[in-house]
Structure 1
């Protein structure tokens, strides 16, 4: 192989062979140690990518909001409840005329606190003071003697009461009838009402604003009847009438006085609760016996 072909192959392989050269001064061949270092082959130029747009500068983050100090833990045990006279509750604002009666009724609506029995019954049956009138079948005004010495107050109508428009007509009402008979009273001798005059959907607990709307009706019933005693049936009724959140178990067994007339009030379990917890019937019998004794004492006076 001639020298030119050998050098060509070596160049293609990237090998630069050393060739002797003649020194400019003396013509001697240069030593391999005096050769300039071989220059490595250069890589092909990289393909330039188009410039990417720079992201917009981020807005500075707001300084952290200091957290308020933690509240002191509250005790789950309610404050002791002592026997006392309960001040009358402030009356709810009077609904406008078209909230009390159907559109066909007279626009001259008297204040609830001045209504007679017929006006009060019409007001309750035509009331649209809250959303419960949209789901009720009947409002439940109450039933019994309008001069009763004993007034019983429950929480709200149930499904049976909503269908019939009468209070305590289901299984709980049947038990209440037997409870009254045990102390020598018939249903016709007492007056039975509820804190709420319409059934809450699904028998849920009444909302505070719903009870506030019915407050004037209940207070007017109490004022018209002027009962000697009031028997509160269940948690909702007792806590509303006494303006407290104490449980029935701690409220029962003592006397309270409510309203300007200072009417004695006793608390006992709701008959529906007694159907679920028959072991508590003995305590309800104690409450009923105390009511019967108080009625006999006041009758002798």
Structure 2
């Protein structure tokens, strides 16, 4: 967050699942579905200007049928039932940079675009 001059107190972090799957495995679709109402309620309460999805699992819930390799670093406006229109910005999960060093530069580049996306949203 320091890279883009955002303070932690101005950022709300939520997960698509509310408890960690055993052995840190990927969440099952059923687990994501069970937790979906809670995530929707969090979004309604917070009313974020921008939702930044970190990784494939959160991206898939909001931007189904998309490939993260095609949408990372791009802002998209989408209608979400129960919430209305929302702007999404997809990033690779930061853990990907730990396993694949070449992802680090992509992640940083995409991350540094967040302030521009926020400014564009404020003009709307």
TM-score range, shorter-chain basis?
0.7 to 0.9
Deviations 1:55-87 (A, max 9, x none): xxxxxxxxxxxxxxxxxxxxxxxxxxxxxxxxx
Residue 198 in 1 paired to residue 19 in 2?
Answer: yes
Instruction: List gaps (5 residues or longer) in structure 2.
Output: none
Shift of 1:272: 0.9
SS at the partner of 1:206? Answer: coil
Would the alpha carbon gap of residues 297 and 243 (structure 1) be closer, same or farther in structure 2, given more than 3 Å must change?
A: closer
Change (3 A) 1:276 1:189: same
TM-score (norm 1): 0.38
Higher strand share: 2
* Greater helix fraction, Structure 1 or Structure 2: 2
Pick from 24, 48, 63: which aligns with 1:227? 48
**1:284 and 2:107 aligned:** yes
Deviation at 1:278, TM superposition (A): 2.3
Match of residue 87 from structure 2? 264
- RMSD value, Cα: 1.7
Q: Cα offset for 1:290?
A: 2.1
Q: Which has the higher contact order (CA 8 A, sep 6+)?
A: 2
How many matched pairs?
A: 121
| CA positional deviation for 1:299 | 4.1
Normalized against structure 2, the TM-score is what? 0.87
* Residue of structure 1 in register with 2:67 after alignment: 247
1:236 aligns with 2:57: yes
Counterpart contact for 2:73–2:111, Cα < 8 Å? no
Return the offset for 1:186: 1.9
2:28 is matched with: 207
The CA distance in 2 between the partners of 1:279 and 1:254, in whole Å, is 19
Task: List structure 1 runs of 4+ shifted beyond 6 angstroms.
Answer: none
SS of equivalent residue, structure 1 residue 249: helix
Residue 243 (structure 1) shift:
2.0
User: Do 1:195 and 1:237's aligned partners in 2 also have CA atoms closer than 8 Å?
Assistant: yes
Task: Give CA-to-partner distance per residue, 1:63-118, whole Å, 9 cap, x none.
Answer: xxxxxxxxxxxxxxxxxxxxxxxxxxxxxxxxxxxxxxxxxxxxxxxxxxxxxxxx
Q: Tell me how far 1:294 sits from its aligned partner.
A: 1.9
